[in-house]
């Protein structure tokens, strides 16, 4: 499956979760449910994956943790905040560069209209 095909499945699944539960829950709740729903669709999901950072001649054991990585192609960063800040999109782009992935989805479940909480971030896609 391509990044775009995976993106459609992920967003459709996130919409279903949002419409069932609504906004206002902790990010960890949405992450748990999205993880299980995507697994049930026979997708390969890495959850809270530790990502090393290479700096000059050293590898630092933990640079960050990716919320979800689907089929080793799409990185998902989940939020449940009042408003997405510009730094959140920059964060996802940096994660994409460090993992050599091409597509990231920034999903904020704390929006009145979920479509306003979806940001697609690309890295040379």
- Mutual orientation of helices 27-39 and 3-21 as an angle, nearest 10°? 130
Give the model confidence (pLDDT) of 5-26 as tens digits. Answer: 999 999 999 999 999 999 999 9
Residue 64 neighbours by CB distance under 10 Å? 15
Separation between Cα atoms, residue 35 and residue 25, nearest integer Å: 16
**Token digits of residue 34:** 């999205």
DSSP assignment letter at 8: H
**Predicted pLDDT at 100:** 93
Please check whether the domain covering 3-122 is classified as CATH 2.160.10. no
Q: How far apart are the first and last CA of the chain?
A: 14
Confidence of residue 32 (pLDDT cuts 50, 70, 90): very high
So what's the pLDDT on residue 84? 92
DSSP state of 117: G
Q: What is the pLDDT of residues 46-59, one digit of tens each?
A: 999 988 888 899 88
- pTM exceeds cut of 0.85: yes
> d(Cα 89, Cα 2) in Å, to the nearest integer?
22
3-state secondary structure of 33: helix
Structure tokens at 117: 């909480």
Domain ranges of the chain: 3-122
In this structure, what token pair is assigned to residue 51? 């990502």
Cα atoms found within 13 Å of the Cα of residue 17, Cβ hemisphere only: 25
Per-residue pLDDT for 91 more than 80? yes
């Amino acid at each position: 499956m391509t990044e775009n095909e995976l993106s459609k499945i992920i967003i459709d699944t996130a919409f279903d979760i949002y419409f069932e539960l609504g906004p206002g829950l902790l990010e960890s709740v949405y992450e748990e449910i999205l993880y299980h729903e995507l697994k049930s669709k026979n997708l390969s999901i890495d959850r809270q994956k530790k990502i090393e950072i290479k700096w000059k001649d050293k590898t630092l054991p933990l640079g960050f943790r990716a919320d979800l990585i689907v089929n080793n192609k799409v990185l998902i960063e989940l939020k449940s905040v009042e408003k997405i800040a510009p730094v959140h999109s920059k964060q996802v782009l940096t994660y994409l560069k460090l993992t050599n992935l091409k597509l990231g989805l920034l999903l904020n479940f704390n929006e009145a209209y979920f479509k306003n909480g979806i940001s697609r971030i690309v890295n040379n896609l």
